[in-house]
Amino acid sequence: MPPIDRRNFIRHIIAGSGALASGLLTACNNDGAANASTSNTFTHGVASGDPLTDRVILWTRAVPASGSSLNVNWEVASDEAFSNIVSKGETSTDAARDYTIKVDATGLQAGSTYFYRFKTGDAVSPSGKTRTLPTGDISEVKLAVFSCANYPAGYFHVYAEAAKRNDLFAALHLGDYIYEYGAGADQYASADATKLGRVSVPANELLKIEDYRQRYAQYRSDKDLQALHARLPFICIWDDHEVANDAWKDGAENHTTATEGDFTLRRAAALKAWYEWLPVREQDASNPLKAYRSFDFGSLLSLHMLDTRLGGRDKQLDYVDYIDPSTGVFNTAGFTAAMSDPTRQLLGAEQTAWLQGQLAASTAIWQVLGQQVLMGKMHLPSPLLTPTPQNPTVSFAQYGVIATAFITYQTLSTQLTAAGTPVTPENLLAAGMTTDQLTIVNDPTSQAIINAPSIPYNLDAWDGYAVARETVYGIARLLDKNLLVLSGDTHNAWANDLQDQDGNQVGVEFATGSVSSPGLEEYLPGTSPAELAAGVRQLIPTLAYADTSKRGYLVLRVTPAEAQADWHLVSTVKETVYTTVLDKSLTTLPGAGNRKIVRT
């Protein structure tokens, strides 16, 4: 989720011992590769990711004290003491890949826990812990879900809390692993960066490969992120800020070609750094945009990681483009036609066909979509969003007063009519309506507000691609699948029943809050978060939960009988001392008669 403006709102501990190995250079090969060195440093911890039943990606970064390249050995053991090595090998790295190292450790056993480390000369990396995917019938899987980690916005306490747990299988990161903005108190979410000691590096906005690499290096220096990477295998997908805010397949809101160059070159640089710095397995070396992929956790669940951002997305619609600047009249017909365009894509035709094939082929009980933006229908009354979200026609509090007046009027009118009593101002007042409420219901402006249509609050989400969303819903219904959708992006926590345009229940969506990026509490500072969350739930019937002011992560617990989402929140990311709370737990059940949030 980007900083709020007229466009983007509406569319809107260290691993092992914690020490870094270092020493003195003793020898180098003639080709410049440093080998028997004690000055070669593993600078950014270790990580693993993209586990399969017989393999897992291992990652580290090792910088030679001298020489242009470095030979590194890796090993995988079944025990923490590394007395039983089950896989090992040697690889090399150099400046062309920013001295990062990724290996696909194969020949492993399904459903097993392993420990891994790297060596070069006398230097030994911290050790990491990882797992392979299970096969067959399994009783439970727990996945931690993260999104939107902004280094200058605050501490990564959320990562630290997850790293303390012993019950998680893997970490899912749904994007915005880094942010592209420059440094400075006037930059997005950076007002406290100097006080926190978390000023962005480099100082400029990220445009070139060197920029993106420096930013990843800064994020990966964070001790809490290092601890989590060493603790769990990650399964990652990008969102927009790994490149630029509100990116789509041919551009981005935060990219100006005239001053920042060709967007495709910027995107290529950003994706190269993403593949270098994250433990992800390339799906197609000739096409780095093809990052969608599946992971099968035995017969229990199939996880399908989707790209809703860079590969197939058409440009976002913008309400401003449909407002006549001279009259202020909204072109409803034009906007509706654009929204109804069957050719507008979010996933793209190729990825949609792939997803349909994956869903059809999977026999797992649960089908889980790991993706970026909110899928559920999130429509709000237009006066709450126009003319701008920062200066709407009415605030949430004002709208609540108006709505309460009209609800009171309708309720009392029904009661009076049923009793054979005329509906008059005097009788309404006698029945309990206040004078202020009576004034509101007779006010033409209030009448226009209460009768205004509801519109999508975020055209960057699936709400802006309604036809594409119906396609996914149609696939899930046709194949009779138990659908769970995991989302991020908004910096706020949500739970939504997913219903198609005809009101058919399709599945549920559990959306995680952010690691550190600010939520709606920053954009609507005059609104009580509790009142805002309650108001939004009242206005969106399918919405079962909302938290709009705290940072946190989600834990998805899946069994054959149910899927449960737990939202864990931290009290602050601005101080080193904080508290945590399990804010909400919600479940859904499998089967055609269920597939909705259990509300108690």
* pTM confidence score: 0.92
pLDDT for position 65: 85
The pLDDT assigned to 349 comes to 97
Domain 17-126 indexed as CATH 3.10.450.50: no
CATH architecture of 127-378+457-588: 4-Layer Sandwich (3.60)
Can you give the pLDDT at residue 224? 98
Q: Do domains 17-126 and 127-378+457-588 have the same CATH topology?
A: no
Please give the Cα distance from 294 to 288 (Å, whole number): 16
Cis bond upstream, residue 126 (ω within 30): no
| Boundaries of every domain in the chain | 17-126, 127-378+457-588, 386-453
Rounded Cα–Cα distance for residues 86 and 105 (Å) = 10
* The pLDDT value given to residue 62: 96
DSSP-assigned letter for residue 242: T
Q: At what angle do helices 444-451 and 396-418 cross, to 10 degrees?
A: 100
Q: What is the pLDDT along the chain (600 residues), one digit of tens a residue?
A: 554 443 343 333 223 333 323 322 222 333 344 444 445 689 999 999 999 999 999 999 999 988 789 999 999 999 999 999 999 999 999 999 999 999 999 999 999 999 999 999 999 999 999 999 999 999 999 999 999 999 999 999 999 999 999 999 999 999 999 999 999 999 999 999 999 999 999 999 999 999 999 999 999 999 999 999 999 999 999 999 999 999 999 999 999 999 999 999 999 999 999 999 999 999 999 999 999 999 999 999 999 999 999 999 999 999 989 988 888 888 989 999 999 999 999 999 999 999 999 999 999 999 999 999 999 999 999 998 877 777 788 988 899 999 999 999 999 999 999 999 999 999 999 999 999 999 999 999 999 999 999 999 999 999 999 999 999 999 999 999 999 999 999 999 999 999 999 999 999 999 999 999 999 988 888 788 998 899 899 999 999 999 999 999 999 999 999 999 999 999 999 999 999 999 999 999 999 999 999 997
For residues 556-567, one letter each, b for 16 or more C-beta atoms within 10 angstroms of the residue's C-beta and e for the rest, the string is: bbbbeeebbbbb
Could you tell me if 68 and 102 are in contact, meaning their C-beta atoms sit under 8 angstroms apart? no
Look at residue 23 in the predicted model and tell me its pLDDT: 28
What's the pLDDT score for residue 222? Answer: 98
Classify residue 513 as exposed, middle or buried by CB count within 10 Å of its CB (0-12, 13-18, 19+).
buried
Q: Which amino acid is at 487?
A: S
What pLDDT score was predicted for residue 386? 79
Among candidate residues 339, 349, 307, the one with its CA nearest the CA of residue 465? 339
d(CA 122, CA 115): 19
Beta bridge partners of 572: none
DSSP conformational letter for 25: B
* Widest distance between CA atoms in the chain: 102
Alpha helix segments (H runs only) across 204-253: 209-220, 223-231
Q: What is the pLDDT of residue 14?
A: 27
What pLDDT is attached to residue 317?
96
Burial per residue of 446-463, b for 16 or more beta-carbon CB atoms within 10 angstroms, e otherwise: beebbebeebbbbbbbbb
